[in-house]
Structure 1
Amino acid sequence: MNTGDAGYGDIARAMAEALRAGAGEWWTSATLQLRHTGGSVSCTAWSDVRENLRVDYGGIARTLFERPPVALEVRLRAGGEYTFTAREDVAAVSPGRLVFDEEFRYPGHPRPGLPRPAAAEPTAAPTDPAVLAEVTRLTAEFAALYAGIKGGPPPLPPGRTEADLAAAEARIGVRLPEDLRALYLLADGDPDDAGLLGPYSPEPLGRLVANYTEGEPGSYGWEDAPDDDGVVFEPVPFGHVKRLSRNDWWVTFGSDRGGNYLAVDLDPAARGRAGQVFEYGRDVYGPLRYVAGSVTAMLTEVVEALRAGKYEDPGEQYLFAETGLRDAEERSYSEVISHAADLDLPAVVAGLPGRELVQEVYLNDPADVDLALFEPLTALRLLKVNRAAVVTPSVGGLEVLESLQISARRVELGALAGHPALWDLQLEDVGEPLDLAVLGTLPRLTRLNLAGSAVPDLGRVCDLPGLRVLELDGDQVRRLLGTGRLLPPLAALFVTGRTTLREMAGLRDAFTGGAPQDTVVEFSAVLQ
Structure 2
Amino acid sequence: MVDQSAPLPSVCDLAIWEPVLRLTPEDGTERGAGRSARVAGRISPSGYSIAHRGSMPSTARIAVQDIQRELARGGVREVVFRAEVRPDGLTTLGLVWPSPAVEPAYGSVNLGVLVLADGSLPAPWLRRPDPVPGAVPAPSADPELLERTLRERLPDAVGATEEEIAAAEARLGVTLSDELRVLYRVAGGDWADDVETAIRVDKAVGCEIFGVEHLFGIDAASRFPGWDLGATDAIRTPPDAVVQGLAGSPGWIGFGTNGGDVFAVDLTPGPRGHFGQIVLLGHTESLGAEPVADSLTDFVLGRLREERPDRRGAELPAVAGVGTGRLASVQAAAHPALEVLSLDGGDGPPFHLAPVAGLPRLRTLTAMPGALADPLEVAGLTALEFLALGVQEWRVLLDAGAVPRTLKAAAVTVRHQDHLPVVPVANEILALWDRPRIAQTLLEGDLGPAAAPA
Give your verdict on TM over 0.5.
yes
What's 1:448 paired with?
365
Q: Distance in 2 between matches of 1:256 and 1:73?
A: 41
Equivalent residue of 1:263, what SS? strand
Q: One-letter code of the match for 1:251?
A: I
Q: Output aligned runs, 1:112-511, within 5 Å.
A: 134-143=145-154, 158-188=158-188, 191-192=198-199, 195-198=203-206, 200-206=207-213, 208-209=214-215, 212=216, 217=219, 221=223, 225=227, 227-228=229-230, 229-234=232-237, 238-257=240-259, 259-282=260-283, 287-299=288-300, 302=301, 323-325=302-304, 328-330=306-308, 332=310, 359-360=313-314, 382-383=315-316, 401-408=317-324, 411-414=328-331, 419-429=335-345, 431-451=348-368, 454-481=371-398, 484-489=400-405, 490-494=407-411, 495-499=413-417, 503-511=421-429
1:204 deviates by 3.3
Q: Distance in 1 between matches of 2:286 and 2:220?
A: 19
Q: Distance in 1 between matches of 2:167 and 2:297?
A: 23
User: Tell me, which stretches of 5 or more residues in structure 1 are unaligned?
Assistant: 119-129, 144-152, 303-322, 335-358, 361-381, 384-400
Q: Distance in 1 between matches of 2:7 and 2:123?
A: 42
- Paired residues of 1:448 and 1:467 also in contact (CA < 8 A): yes
Aligned equivalent of 1:522, options 429, 434, 441: 441
Q: One-letter code of the match for 2:151?
A: A
1:267 deviates by 2.5
1:428 deviates by 1.7
What's 1:10 paired with?
10
User: Which protein, 1 or 2, shows the higher relative CO under an 8 Å CA cutoff with sep ≥ 6?
Assistant: 2
Distance 1:187 1:61, change over 3 A: farther
1:138 deviates by 2.4
- Paired residues of 1:264 and 1:275 also in contact (CA < 8 A): yes
User: What value does the CA root-mean-square deviation take over the aligned residues?
Assistant: 4.4
Kindly provide the CA deviation profile for residues 330-369 of structure 1, in whole angstroms up to 9, marking residues without a partner as x: 45567xxxxxxxxxxxxxxxxxxxxxxxx22xxxxxxxxx
Equivalent residue of 2:361, what SS? coil
Distance 1:496 1:246, change over 3 A: farther
Q: Distance in 1 between matches of 2:403 and 2:221?
A: 36
Kindly provide the CA deviation profile for residues 229-285 of structure 1, in whole angstroms up to 9, marking residues without a partner as x: 3111559x934322112223312111223x332111222334444322101215879
Distance 1:254 1:62, change over 3 A: farther
Equivalent residue of 1:291, what SS? strand
What's 1:364 paired with?
none
Equivalent residue of 1:298, what SS? helix
Distance 1:251 1:116, change over 3 A: farther
Distance 1:230 1:191, change over 3 A: farther
How does the TM-score come out when normalised to structure 1? 0.62
- Paired residues of 1:232 and 1:286 also in contact (CA < 8 A): yes
What's 2:80 paired with?
72
What's 1:393 paired with?
none
Moved more, 99-108 or 457-466: 99-108
Distance 1:61 1:184, change over 3 A: farther
Q: One-letter code of the match for 1:230?
A: D
What's 2:49 paired with?
43
Equivalent residue of 1:249, what SS? strand
- Paired residues of 1:250 and 1:267 also in contact (CA < 8 A): yes
Q: Distance in 1 between matches of 2:280 and 2:222?
A: 10
Q: Distance in 1 between matches of 2:39 and 2:324?
A: 33
Q: Distance in 1 between matches of 2:422 and 2:165?
A: 52
Distance 1:105 1:217, change over 3 A: closer
Q: Distance in 2 between matches of 1:4 and 1:452?
A: 27
1:325 deviates by 1.1
